[in-house]
């Protein structure tokens, strides 16, 4: 049976309701980034629907094709009731429920009379990993488009160009393939019956046109309090239906005294791309209208001019008083140019003698602070402290689990709140101090994020209240059912797994020994077992037996319950730590760091660089006497501390003893290793990190397509731009050609072919071991010419010492697809500073990696953390 999905621009799109399903195959979370989305199929060959394939989950070890149906809305449920799931789970636990499947169906495009232009498709895949559209007889590798696996609100459908032109006079049929991956962290424990994926696919047709479309679901608008904007950032969603467009200016449609907006910067939009146009609010007087209108001026690459009229609704709140307080949506520019919302709740009372620190509140997975007040309504109100609830970039914040750029957004929201309140004298009675310390509180994924922020930025965190928190992803659902593990060299696996080290909260608990901790957990938590909090508390007490840590375990309570954070013990803890912080300084403490650029200081001490990046660095500080400190280092190349709170005359660092006559006169003291155990002063910092660090940018990304004529390279850029927005609300500009990209401040992605002259130009100074010889990419005398290779590697930014460049290169189209899937949109993708993958990864996952490693402290070869086949 076939059901018409839509008729748009007169093209009829029909998605078949009949689906073929192949699976299940054991797989661990995120392993689908390495393995082909069509595993075990090779889509360049005809499909044999009578064949079977090996699968350890099935009786007799073989699985074949089965059939299922979707409903008229494209919803289908995929399960495998013949698998003895209870037996598998009895020995392997939740890890046994992780599995992969490939789904196949078809769509038919029926042209209208007189059709002369092929449409593009808009595909909305919910809770599926990838979707691909193939012609009847494929002649090139499929382009895989990531689905909205988290089912996040306001995620736009994917614009997909047809793989081959349709007939203009008769119906044309295409194959549809979906990669379906069941992940416990996303879909939960079925408890009874087989794990079942609920997947929805909707496809419509869109006629490309030289025009611009408003995407109102993408708008970013802050609240107004007593007529004043609670923030200075506004965002307007625009998508190009065809052609390159640049927004050049923005003016109010009707002038208003003391209130206007301005375009933050010219914004270029690629064909089919959506960008959120950043507008700055300029306000000196109250503005009380319910809406305001803006005219955006645009110019196309052909010189055509256009004006887009925008009308934005405003939400007005009354002035604060003890009987009229409500949650407020604030806004700020993340990374200078990305309009971002956060939610805040003012203190019940005005400030006393001095401002009280705020409570930074991290939501759990799936909570949308833009459209819901559930999270902030669930929190205990404070007499003198603000509650600040950042978005974490998206409702799940699970793109990066409150790590990396999600953590940056958390701190950015706090700093934005400080600036907003300080900008209006009417709000000064509830003002906050610049760079204010915070108490961090969170539930579930936010509870895990609470442990993360507390251990990575201990000097800015006064206390933590993690509720229903898991330790780390590998402890939540074990990686024991990995397919890659059956084939990979253990040395290569160790290098890849080092990418997970910065996320492993238990490894950094030494940083929390002087921070008050109240861990809360339901004793019958069905989502995150209570042993996670018990274990974290136990590890912390191993570092310091008398640490100020308490575990509140509520018997018979589940994952979420109304009193999880609203109870007297939590409130008493917050009152004490907000009004009279009890944090002391141990005579001996240890700072643990994985990536220095992503970590703060402990009692002022900061590790700036590691001797061997990729391994943990530790710095033990021991107070020997009032005037003497002893420092013991492990894998530390450089460190620093501010001496104003350390009245000492001598410091012993490993084997070096240094005397100081006037230490407090210096703002910061820096040390650098000089030999194996000797030290000297220094000022330099280390900037390298895992490829995931590329997502932390100081400005919108620039995606550089070296070969503008390559439709495939352009497609990769558009897909990555879409994913950056969908998973992280990050902005990206697509840039064609190599000229001028090296003068851009934000992080830069280079997409190209390994033999491209433009790659040679970009690598002309060879600041890493990658280089070009005779138009061939080289790495330590290795060249890369084998078909199907994909390469990713970080590179120093040409003008921004804190920025990154990332090269995404390949030897052909299939290799580019493999490299693009390793772009680390989510946590758990094991990509260190550089990685080379091959066609063998399609079947063996990470075992198909030919090389991987972490750069040295100066972007040099790091022999201890590198592996080549």
- Measured between alpha carbons, how far is residue 248 from residues 251, 264, 313 in Å? 11, 10, 23
* pLDDT per 10-residue tile (average), the chain, 869 residues: 47 97 95 96 94 98 98 94 96 95 98 94 97 94 96 94 96 98 90 93 95 97 97 98 97 95 97 98 97 97 96 94 85 97 95 93 91 88 96 82 95 98 95 96 97 98 98 94 97 96 97 98 96 98 96 97 96 94 88 95 94 96 92 94 83 88 73 76 59 95 95 97 96 92 90 91 86 88 94 94 93 98 93 97 98 93 95
* DSSP label at residue 429: G
Confidence at residue 664, expressed as pLDDT on a 0 to 100 scale? 65
* DSSP label at residue 59: G
pTM of the predicted structure, to 2 decimals? 0.95
Distance CA 424, CA 420 (A): 7
Confidence at residue 8, expressed as pLDDT on a 0 to 100 scale? 43
CB atoms < 10 A from the CB of 241, how many? Answer: 17
- Side-chain-side CA neighbours of residue 634 (13 Å): 12
In order of their start, the domains of the chain are 2-206 (2.60.120), 209-319 (2.60.40.2550), 320-578 (3.40.50.1820), 588-680 (no CATH), 691-823+832-868 (3.30.379.10)
Residue 221 three-state SS? coil
* Short-list 720, 636, 727, CA closest to 676: 636
Confidence at residue 644, expressed as pLDDT on a 0 to 100 scale? 79
Confidence at residue 321, expressed as pLDDT on a 0 to 100 scale? 79
CB 248 within 8 A of CB 254: no
Question: The tokens of 596 are what?
Answer: 């220095």
Confidence at residue 5, expressed as pLDDT on a 0 to 100 scale? 44
SS3 content of the chain, % helix, strand, coil (to 5): 20, 35, 45
Alpha helices of 152-254 — where are they, by DSSP H? 184-187
Confidence at residue 673, expressed as pLDDT on a 0 to 100 scale? 86
């Amino acid at each position: 049976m076939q059901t018409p999905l839509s008729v748009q621009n007169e093209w009829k799109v029909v998605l078949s309701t009949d689906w073929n399903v192949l699976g299940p195959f054991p797989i661990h979370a995120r392993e689908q980034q390495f393995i082909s989305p069509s595993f075990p199929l090779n889509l360049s060959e005809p499909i044999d629907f009578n064949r079977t394939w090996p699968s350890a989950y099935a009786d007799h070890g073989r699985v074949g094709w089965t059939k299922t149906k979707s409903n008229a809305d494209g919803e289908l449920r995929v399960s495998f009731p013949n698998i003895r799931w209870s037996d598998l789970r009895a020995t392997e636990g939740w890890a046994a429920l992780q599995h992969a499947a490939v789904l196949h169906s078809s769509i038919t495009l029926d042209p209208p009379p007189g059709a002369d232009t092929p449409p593009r498709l808009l595909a909305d895949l919910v809770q599926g990993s990838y979707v691909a559209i193939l012609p009847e007889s494929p002649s090139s590798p499929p382009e895989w488009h990531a689905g909205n696996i988290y089912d996040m609100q306001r995620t736009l459908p994917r614009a997909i160009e047809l793989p081959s032109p349709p007939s203009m006079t008769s119906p044309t049929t295409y194959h549809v393939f979906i990669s379906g991956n069941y992940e416990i962290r996303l879909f939960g424990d079925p408890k009874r019956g087989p794990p079942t994926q609920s997947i929805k696919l909707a496809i419509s047709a869109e006629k490309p046109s030289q025009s611009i479309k408003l995407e109102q679901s993408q708008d970013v608008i802050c609240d107004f309090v007593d007529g004043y904007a609670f923030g200075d950032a506004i965002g307007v969603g625009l998508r190009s239906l065809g052609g390159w467009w640049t927004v050049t200016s923005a003016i109010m449609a009707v002038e208003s005294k003391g209130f206007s907006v301005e375009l933050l910067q010219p914004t270029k939009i690629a064909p089919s791309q959506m960008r959120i146009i950043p507008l700055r609010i300029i306000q000196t007087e109250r503005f009380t209208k319910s809406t305001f209108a803006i005219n955006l001026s645009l110019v196309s690459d052909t010189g055509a001019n256009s004006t887009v009229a925008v009308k934005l609704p405003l939400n007005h709140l009354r002035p604060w008083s003890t009987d009229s307080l409500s949650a407020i949506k604030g806004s700020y520019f993340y990374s200078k140019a990305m309009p971002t919302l956060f939610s805040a709740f003012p203190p019940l009372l005005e400030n006393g003698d001095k401002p009280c620190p705020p409570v930074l509140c991290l939501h759990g997975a799936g909570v949308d602070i833009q459209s819901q007040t559930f999270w902030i309504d669930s929190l205990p109100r404070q007499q003198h402290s603000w509650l600040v609830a950042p978005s974490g970039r998206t409702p799940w914040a699970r793109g990066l689990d409150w790590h990396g750029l999600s953590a940056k957004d958390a701190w950015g929201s706090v700093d934005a709140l400080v600036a907003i309140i300080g900008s209006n004298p009417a709000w000064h009675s509830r003002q906050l101090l610049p760079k204010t310390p915070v108490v961090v509180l969170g539930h579930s994924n936010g509870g895990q994020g609470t442990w993360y922020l507390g251990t990575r930025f201990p000097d800015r965190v006064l206390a933590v209240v993690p509720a229903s928190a898991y330790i780390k992803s590998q402890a939540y659902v074990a990686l024991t059912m990995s397919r890659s593990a059956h084939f990979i060299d253990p040395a290569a696996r160790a290098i890849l797994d080092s990418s997970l080290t910065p996320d492993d909260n238990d490894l950094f608990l030494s940083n929390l020994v002087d921070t008050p901790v109240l861990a809360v957990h339901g004793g019958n938590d069905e989502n995150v077992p209570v042993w996670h909090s018990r274990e974290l508390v136990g590890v912390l007490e191993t570092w310091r037996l008398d640490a100020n840590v308490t575990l509140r375990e509520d018997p018979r309570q589940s994952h979420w319950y109304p009193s999880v954070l609203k109870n007297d013990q939590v409130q008493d803890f917050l009152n004490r730590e907000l009004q009279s912080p009890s944090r002391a300084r141990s005579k001996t403490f240890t700072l643990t760091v994985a990536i220095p650029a992503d970590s703060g200081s402990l009692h002022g001490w900061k590790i700036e660089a590691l001797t061997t990046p990729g391994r943990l660095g530790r710095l033990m500080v021991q107070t020997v006497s009032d005037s003497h400190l002893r420092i013991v280092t492990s894998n530390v190349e450089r460190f620093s501390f501010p001496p104003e709170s350390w009245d000492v005359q001598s410091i012993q660092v490993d084997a070096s003893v240094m005397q100081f006559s006037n230490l407090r006169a210096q703002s910061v003291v820096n040390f650098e290793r000089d030999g194996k155990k000797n030290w000297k002063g220094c000022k330099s910092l280390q900037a390298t990190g895992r490829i995931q660090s590329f997502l932390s940018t100081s400005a919108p990304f620039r995606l550089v397509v070296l070969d503008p004529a390559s439709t495939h390279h352009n497609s990769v850029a558009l897909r990555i731009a879409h994913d950056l927005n969908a998973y992280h609300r990050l902005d990206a500009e697509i840039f064609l050609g190599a000229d001028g990209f090296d003068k851009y401040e934000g992080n830069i992605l280079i997409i190209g072919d390994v033999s491209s002259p433009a790659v040679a130009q970009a690598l002309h100074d060879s600041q890493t071991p990658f280089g070009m010889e005779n138009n061939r990419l080289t790495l330590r005398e290795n060249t890369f010419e084998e078909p199907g290779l994909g390469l990713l590697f970080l590179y120093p930014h040409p003008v921004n010492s804190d920025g990154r460049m990332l090269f995404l290169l390949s030897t052909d189209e299939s290799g580019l697809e493999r490299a693009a899937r390793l772009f680390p949109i989510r946590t758990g993708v094991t990509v260190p500073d550089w990685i080379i993958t091959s066609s063998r990864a399609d079947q063996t996952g990470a075992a198909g990696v030919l090389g991987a490693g972490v750069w040295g402290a100066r972007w040099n070869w790091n022999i201890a953390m590198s592996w080549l086949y």
